[in-house]
Amino acid sequence: MRVLVTGGAGFIGSHIVTALLSGGHEPVVLDALLPTAHAVPPPRPAAEWVHADVRDAAAVADALHGVDAVCHQAAMVGLGKDFADAPAYVGCNDLGTAVLLAAMAEAGVADLVLAGSMVVYGEGRYDCARHGRVAPGPRLPDDLAAGRFEPRCPRCGDALAPGLVAEEAPADPRNVYATTKLTQEHLAASWARATGGRAVSLRYHNVYGPGMPRDTPYAGVASFFRSALARGEAPRVFEDGGQRRDFVHVRDVAAANVHALAAVGQRPPGSFRAYNTGSGTPHTVGEMAAALAAACGGPAPVVTGEYRLGDVRHITAASVRLREEFGWLPEVAFAAGVTEFARAAQRPVPLPEPRGAAHAP
């Protein structure tokens, strides 16, 4: 199978390219290789390369020649610095996706695997002992400033029990990045209905592993911790460290993409379906920081009580649908994955990143 991988030089994209090559497929990498994302040109695998931005309609059209399916990874990722980043996020994630889908429609390429994100859910699943399943609203700045980090029942104010969120949960994006990821899914669904295409979105949970970027405000929390330890500094853990996340290894995510690419062509024409992509085993942010510090032999984490508006408290995945329908199973255990990540090189990213930087995850 010949597969166009947008953002194929990025963190997740490069692992997908490696997995495709190992499976005997023919990946075509399209990546802008922007200096803001690639301070050092990445090593190139034995794959065809197109050096172009996903928003370049002519370049995308050329790259689609002879392609059987598209694996769309190009995106600007993370929570960002502040709302001034909004135009960059929308330009890269949503305009880029629209340009790609229009070119796919013109070229008659019918199969798409999209890099989705768990951030579309907002807060995860919560249950109240008195009122059952509830959906808490955004946490209030006054509560966060006072160290009241746990969402409360919106009906009675009691404590809530977090659980695993399934794909049927309503979307509730809480920041600009989350909004653009949900928009990508809406665009993909619209494209599928209009063209008879088939689209799936793999809603990644907290992906970590070798090749994560370092020293950038646009990376995930595991990268923040690893970057600090590489500088000989203690990881700074926001809130109280009790935030629950599903940390899934990047090789497992790459394997999920390969499974999805093999199966998407069996989906009904005009269809869109989302799949949680997580390990299924929650860990707290504090646990990740402590495990990384121990594996690196570095200073112990410091719990700061700081917070970021737009962050959610708990979001963990139920990835049963992906396992049952595509036959995917995560293979990298948390302890082994963290130990490997602690010893692996990170991608250098120059600071500061200018406004408007759009790059692959």
238 token code pair = 């926001």
In the chain, where the domains are located: 2-124+165-342
Residue type for position 206: N
Which strands make up the sheet holding 26-31, listed edge to edge? 48-51, 26-31, 2-6, 69-72, 111-117, 198-204, 271-277
**pLDDT tens sequence across 100-127:** 999 999 999 999 999 999 999 999 999 9
- Give the relative orientation of helices 250-263 and 11-22 as an angle to the nearest 10 degrees: 60
Q: How far is CA 343 from CA 71, 288, 336, in A?
A: 29, 15, 11
What pLDDT, on a 0 to 100 scale, did the predictor assign at position 349? 60
Which burial class, exposed, middle or buried, applies to 269 when counting CB atoms under 10 A from its CB (0-12, 13-18, 19+)? exposed
SS3 187: helix
- pLDDT category at 324 given cuts 50, 70, 90 is very high
pLDDT digits (tens, 9 = 90+) for 298-322: 999 999 999 988 789 999 989 999 9
CATH 3.40.50.720 for the 2-124+165-342 domain, yes or no? yes
Share of the chain above pLDDT 90, in %: 82
Give me the pLDDT at residue 79, please.
67
Residues 6+ apart with CB under 8 A from 102: 57
Structure tokens given for 289: 């920081």
Q: What is the mean pLDDT of residues 202-220?
A: 87
Please list, residue by residue across 333-355, b when 16 or more beta carbons sit within 10 angstroms of its beta carbon and e when fewer do. Answer: ebeebbbbbbeeebbebeeebee
Is 19's pLDDT higher than 90? yes
Write down the pLDDT at residue 125: 94
pLDDT score, position 193: 98
Average pLDDT, the chain: 92
User: Taking the CB of residue 331, how many other CB atoms lie within 10 A of it?
Assistant: 12
Report d(CA 290, CA 165) in Å as an integer.
Answer: 25
pLDDT tens by residue, 23-35: 999 999 999 887 6
Q: Rounded to an integer, what is the distance from CA 242 to the centroid of its chain?
A: 21
Q: Which two tokens stand for residue 287?
A: 């646990």
In this prediction, residues 349-356 reach a mean pLDDT of 44
Q: What amino acid positions are annotated as catalytic residues? A: 177
220 pLDDT band, cuts 50/70/90, is confident
